[in-house]
Structure 1
Amino acid sequence: MKKILITGANGQLGQSILEQSKKYNEIECFFATRNELDITNENLVNQYFEDKLFDFIINCAAYTAVDKAEDDYNNAYLINAKSTELLAKVTNQKSIPFIHISTDYVFDGTEAKPRLETDLTNPIGVYGQTKLQGEELALQNNPKTIIIRTAWVFSRFGNNFLKTMLKLFKEKESISVVSDQIGSPTNALDLAKAILDIISKDELKYGIFNYSNEGECSWFEFAQKIKELSGASTEIIPVSTSAYPTKAKRPAYSLLDKSKIKEVYQLDIPTWENSLKDELNQII
């Protein structure tokens, strides 16, 4: 039995891992609330792990308020970078593999081609900067680190684009959605399954990996598919990014190349359309 500790357990990925773990007889998941484990406090982190034995740590905790982060660098850094360093250090001391979740925002999104793990990073906002710093600190402090970069995460859990659209479809006759940002939506349950499949392997390969669902779309196309599958009647109006200004810049092209994770870990990745359909069947 492999014992897994998940930080950020209340987020949509943490909840998705809990849901998917029910299908794995050889995996037992443990969750630490913020009161039980303050990952920003070095002394408390070290104390927590003194008498506890885990086979893996999955760090799903993150400061994800992209716009708010622009005026809140210290807290974004504390959660996305410093706490990652503390977890990497303590897991390294105990020789525990460390899985850390990162983001497409480490890239600037200026090139219209799927990004490889080895491509030059260039975050254009505080959220991306602090997540990249977290990646670097994790890899520096624990050689048994697996970084998984993902994008456009949705699910039945937490707050995300899918649930926002379903709410707006009930409230509005028409909405505007950005049509010139391109990426691939990621069902948190598919990502959770991928993580648990990796943990189940007899041999691990460490380093940086990309994961999202297959296919690509704009936010507008994503919204249109949600509308189609949910049977909503709300009019969706495509708009440019410039017509919808935000505090933080978003990458215009966020597609991630998943060749490496598919080859190394032999993963079968669903299309975002099929995965969205499956998820809506659980919600509606």
Structure 2
Amino acid sequence: MMPLSTRANKEIVLRAVEELLNNYDVRPSFLGTNEFANCFLNGVMLFDIADSLQEPGIWKKKKNKPEKPPIDYGSRIANVSKKLGLGYVVLSSPYISGLKDGGASYLAHYVKQFKKENPKTIIETTVPFELSSNHLVFLLKEKPDVVSFKIIYDQKGKGRLRKLLRAIKTVRKVSKEKPIRVIFSINEKTRPSEIFGALRSIRKSGADMVVLQASKPESQISEDIFETYAREAYNLGFKHVISKPKPNIAFDLPEFISSIM
């Protein structure tokens, strides 16, 4: 972690961090929020490839081809995380439908750059489960320390779940030991029996960590239900479970990290 003077207050430190990020032209998730500040103070930072584009979060179309991410983004993230003394970095990407490999080659290239230039920091790669098995295997050759998937379980949840299970099985074929984490967002209308069934399938496919959360901040799903889901997940054999309407990334991720070290 970056050495902090006893006189330096939180605001001064964060301004210095933001200046460093600007110098490297990288934009982590939640920048400017308390969530970002708490993540940093816990040695964690999250990056989404889409945020590196001219229109953050959007794949900009040019002549029917999406704008391509910068080729050295992984290197920039590696150097920033090294200078800040981060212990854990999460690098995620949406599925890029305009590219034949869904963007797998970019994500793989970034992981390769990162591990070459900053091998001491743990890197978790959040992978779009829509990737084909071949493209996913290509990405896994760069050996991210942790692989994670995100899924929203709503009216289209069953179709997404089938793709997710295939992706988890592909990872497990490549590596029997690699931690696999699933971030599972739940819709208010989803029945508990469906969640229990999905958890069983996810665990059986090979995932060993799960985060259960509400798909929307204003969700009315009770905390008691999430506690029930957590008990069921542990009963199914998950090694680490976070289950609450709105997980606190800054504090939940360090707990998760300690469970895999």
Q: TM-score, normalised by structure 2?
A: 0.37
Higher relative contact order (CA 8 A, sep 6+): 1
Q: TM-score, normalised by structure 1?
A: 0.34
